Structure 1
Amino acid sequence: MNHENIRKVALVAGATRGAGRGIAIELGALGATVYVTGRSTRTQRSEYNRAETIEETAELVTKAGGQGIAVPTDHLEPEAVKALIARIAEEQGRLDILVNDIWGAESFFEWNKPIWEHSLEKGLRMLRLAIDTHLITSHFALPLLIKSKHGLVVEMTDGTAEYNRTNYRVSLFYDLVKSSVIRIAWSLAKELEPYSCTAVALTPGWMRSEIMLEHFKVTEANWREATKQEPHFIISESPRYVGRAVAALAQDPDVARWNGQSLSSGQLAKIYNFRDLDGSQPDAWRYIVEVQDAGKPANATGYR
């Protein structure tokens, strides 16, 4: 049997909206069977209290050409995650791709507040949502993934290792979360390497998530209007862009070359030659360093 003709099985943990949804759709476009998880369903909302649901994501995966399967899961509950993986094992017998995109903490970080002023309750909740969830999911999912030779784990974060090492990220709690996920990927790479599997950390650039579009009161269709409020939004990208980065990694027979590394959507776009929905190739982290953080006027020429 030709391995390339086998429908890949993926779990996108935290696929209700944003990067998770974009990744799930692009894996669906490859023809993958994609299990999409989250806490927001058509009958129950998470603490986000937003309208997006995992059922919608699953339908978009199927529409793209794959098979989307929505499984309501709170990834802080070990027994729920254990049951999820048992279901995937029973229904598919394998797991080729794990995307740890669980986050759910936008409402908990407090911008530029030192730890003694930041809400301790919110800060610790952020750590649990963004770190514990990834550890719990990996604990249960990886025994199934290592059975599939050349399995891939993608740890989703915000910022590259290089950028986060030299820049303070919003608050101590947020900073710790995003750097920790990069380190989780590095550690997983060491543990997975003997099984011919690969783990990477991946960051989008300035992503036009549903929450970000709502913040600027724009849609994906007219997002450029937001540059009137925030000129640097000109470098932004759709969630499908980082989705295409994951799809490119999933199709790369030499993906092990990236094992343990911190990657970005803009970096991989140049290497794999994929583009965003509008045909551009935004390189947000280079732009942020060379233009935004350097105090230059917003101008994405040469960066997308």
Structure 2
Amino acid sequence: MPKRLEGQVALVIGATRGAGRGIAVELGAAGATVYCTGRTTSRQRSPFGRPETIEETAELVTAAGGTGIAVQVDHLDVEQVRDLVHRIDTDQDGRLDVLVNDIWGGDPYLGDFRLPFWEHDLPRGLQVLHNAVDTHIITSWHVAPLMVKRRRGLVVEITDGRPDEFHDHLFYDLPKKSVMRLAVAYAEELGPHGITGVAVSPGWLRSEAMLEGMGVTEENWQDWYWREPEHRPPDWLGSESPRYTGRAVLALATDPDVSRWNGRTVYTRDLAPVYGFTDVNGTMPGHGIYGGDVLNDQLPRQEDYS
């Protein structure tokens, strides 16, 4: 593919796995230099205990055609974030074109989704807010001066759901809505300096943890649907790979008129027909075959779309 981001610099926080990894790889495929941050390295795992590492993500970025740079950072640590941004400023001569705030870090703390918020453990609930919101604000606070100085840049908040819907319970809904409001704040405060802020919401994301929980891989992810005929959750067939989220962010990063999205929350499935990108299997989740065909139980097996 054309190196549409050649010479540009991106920072993807929370790039260890999931959407963050997919976004980093797609930006790399377009030729960008991508700083990939997270807490899990080949030498040290985060408290979540997942095996994916930031070095692996950086290697995937480089293999895709970009330059991947892995940096271990705890984005709740202000000094670590300050040092990271200083390094980018020094190494890239003050250039940072794209910031993607993808840190979530909430799953181990959420508890039973069927319980009302007052029956959840308060410290654990507050930790979700620290992990999923404070990290974004701390990073944007340090990055903003670089972008303002150059009067250009894109800041993407990765979220879930729509602004007008309540999502499960307070400790899940509030952080997801908070980063949507961050996009609004960026539009108001950074917009006059030529910087665009957008919140992007994937659909049902086939993250590494999700695939592992279903007992499948990205290569055979539809098998879970066909293996559970008595359940057959149709939404699973409309799920999205992390690379689909990456292609949505790439489309925004290469759009000369990206400011039209300033302050908005948009779904990957809404951006796909506007920009004409597809998921890795050539489909466009949320459209076409993932409409009536699924609901009518007429969707062919994976190999028919390979």
TM-score, scaled to structure 1:
0.90
Q: Is residue 24 of structure 1 aligned with residue 27 of structure 2?
A: no
Post-superposition offset of 1:112: 2.1
CA distance in 2 between partners of 1:51 and 1:36 (Å)? 16
Whether the aligned pair in 2 keeps the contact of 1:104 and 1:129 (CA below 8 Å) is yes
For 1:278, the equivalent position in structure 2 comes to 281
Where does 1:93-108 land on structure 2 (aligned, <5 Å)? Answer: 93=93, 94-108=95-109
Post-superposition offset of 1:291: 11
Identity %: 54
Post-superposition offset of 1:148: 3.0
Whether the aligned pair in 1 keeps the contact of 2:5 and 2:254 (CA below 8 Å) is no
Q: Is residue 142 of structure 1 aligned with residue 144 of structure 2?
A: yes
For 2:187, the equivalent position in structure 1 comes to 189
Q: Is residue 129 of structure 1 aligned with residue 131 of structure 2?
A: yes
Q: Show structure 1 runs of 5+ residues with no match.
A: none
Whether the aligned pair in 2 keeps the contact of 1:19 and 1:240 (CA below 8 Å) is yes
Q: Show structure 2 runs of 5+ residues with no match.
A: none
Cα distance, 1:222–1:189 mapped onto 2, change above 3 Å: same
**What amino acid maps onto 2:46 in structure 1?**
S
Q: Is residue 39 of structure 1 aligned with residue 42 of structure 2?
A: no
Post-superposition offset of 1:149: 3.2
For 1:239, the equivalent position in structure 2 comes to 242
2:149 aligned counterpart, secondary structure: coil
Post-superposition offset of 1:171: 1.6
**What amino acid maps onto 1:210 in structure 2?**
E
**What amino acid maps onto 2:76 in structure 1?**
L
**What amino acid maps onto 2:184 in structure 1?**
W
**What amino acid maps onto 2:286 in structure 1?**
D
Whether the aligned pair in 1 keeps the contact of 2:183 and 2:199 (CA below 8 Å) is yes
Cα distance, 1:5–1:136 mapped onto 2, change above 3 Å: closer
Where does 1:41-120 land on structure 2 (aligned, <5 Å)? Answer: 41-93=41-93, 94-110=95-111, 111-120=113-122
Whether the aligned pair in 2 keeps the contact of 1:10 and 1:98 (CA below 8 Å) is yes
CA distance in 1 between partners of 2:191 and 2:88 (Å)? 23
2:118 aligned counterpart, secondary structure: coil
**What amino acid maps onto 1:112 in structure 2?**
R
Post-superposition offset of 1:232: 2.3
Post-superposition offset of 1:283: 1.8
1:41 aligned counterpart, secondary structure: coil
Where does 1:168-187 land on structure 2 (aligned, <5 Å)? Answer: 168-187=166-185
Whether the aligned pair in 2 keeps the contact of 1:96 and 1:148 (CA below 8 Å) is no
2:152 aligned counterpart, secondary structure: coil
1:252 aligned counterpart, secondary structure: coil
Post-superposition offset of 1:106: 1.1
Post-superposition offset of 1:120: 1.0
Post-superposition offset of 1:146: 2.1
Post-superposition offset of 1:147: 2.6
CA distance in 2 between partners of 1:112 and 1:8 (Å)? 44
For 2:268, the equivalent position in structure 1 comes to 265
**What amino acid maps onto 2:198 in structure 1?**
V
Whether the aligned pair in 2 keeps the contact of 1:232 and 1:299 (CA below 8 Å) is no
For 1:152, the equivalent position in structure 2 comes to 154
CA distance in 2 between partners of 1:149 and 1:273 (Å)? 28
How many residue pairs get aligned? The number is: 289
